[in-house]
Amino acid sequence: PNWRKRKEDYIGSLDNAYAAFRGTMVHSMLEATARPGSLAEWRFYTDVDGQEISGSPDLITYDTIWDWKTTENPPAYSYMYEGHKLQLNYNRFIFNHATKWDAPAGQDPLTPALDPYNTRIQHLAIVYLGPKGPKVIETEKKGDNRYNVPDVMTDDQVLGSLRPRMEAWKLAWESYPRWPDGLELYPGWTGGRDWKCPGPPLCYLPNCLAKRYPDALTWVSPK
């Protein structure tokens, strides 16, 4: 839903920007104190079916991609939110298949500390920074011995998940405000055949008109 910010006017406020401001402060501090030999806040680009996509992992160490999430409510159990799991796996894929990259200010983009093509990522983890302290959750699955083992999607698994989402995004972007046939059938899309804002946790357009008047002002394709 966030792509609609590029298509529709919306109203922001300083109060609604606080969470992003707090997250930026935390990320800036962690970037400045990243361990030697790691990559913090680099952006990597790759090509999938002729479309360029990019990702910016918060931190990459010698075998792990990390993400930092400032939140009031970390997951109650040892399972991260599904969207966060996909984000980590997509970032891993983009990193290992990078065609180019951007370095943070002050760092040499020609000499990354880790080689994207020869760095084997074996762990994906999120550090949820909640009000009572951090909570680290790694993507895991049940192993043959019934104990949990690291779970990193293969390239084929990533593409199987990523391609339909990219296709849905492309359909929505090129057709808006007309509703493209079949868009509601794509994975990750919610609701019916209209542009109605689904609201949190899928859409966080701050103070947008659709949120103010959910039954009166919606994005509906013309008949």
Q: What is the mean pLDDT of residues 115-127?
A: 96
Side chain identity at residue 17, one-letter code: A
Q: Does residue 171 have a pLDDT over 70?
A: yes
Q: What was the pLDDT predicted at 12?
A: 64
Closest CA relative to residue 93, chosen from 136, 124, 71, 125: 124
pLDDT digits (tens, 9 = 90+) for 130-170: 888 999 999 999 888 888 899 999 999 999 999 999 998 88
**Could you give the CA distance from residue 40 to residue 103 in angstroms, rounded to a whole number?**
9
Q: Does residue 62 have a pLDDT over 70?
A: yes
The answer to whether 172 touches 216, Cβ cutoff 8 Å, is no
pLDDT digits (tens, 9 = 90+) for 193-220: 777 766 666 666 655 655 555 555 555 4
**Peptide bond connecting 201 to the previous residue in cis, omega within 30 degrees of 0:** yes
Which of the pair, 134 or 106, is modelled with greater confidence? 134
Which of the pair, 75 or 202, is modelled with greater confidence? 75
Which of the pair, 210 or 185, is modelled with greater confidence? 185
Helices marked H in 33-154 — which ranges? 82-96
Q: Dihedral, CA atoms, 86, 89, 91, 93, nearest 10 degrees?
A: -130
Q: Which helix (H) or strand (E) holds 162?
A: helix 155-175
**Peptide bond connecting 177 to the previous residue in cis, omega within 30 degrees of 0:** yes
Instruction: Record the tokens describing residue 221, joined without a space.
Output: 């394709």
| Dihedral of alpha carbons 166, 170, 176, 179, sign | negative
User: Which residue's entry shows tokens 């808006």?
Assistant: 176
**Could you give the CA distance from residue 172 to residue 168 in angstroms, rounded to a whole number?**
6
Q: What was the pLDDT predicted at 78?
A: 84
Sheet holding 64-70, edge to edge: 39-40, 59-60, 64-70, 123-130, 133-138
Q: What was the pLDDT predicted at 1?
A: 47
pLDDT digits (tens, 9 = 90+) for 76-92: 888 898 889 999 999 99
**How much helix, strand and coil, in percent to the nearest 5, is found in the chain?**
30, 20, 50
Q: Which helix (H) or strand (E) holds 112?
A: none
Q: Does residue 110 have a pLDDT over 80?
A: yes
The answer to whether 151 touches 141, Cβ cutoff 8 Å, is yes
- Going by their DSSP bridges, the two strands 148-150 and 51-55 should be labelled as unpaired
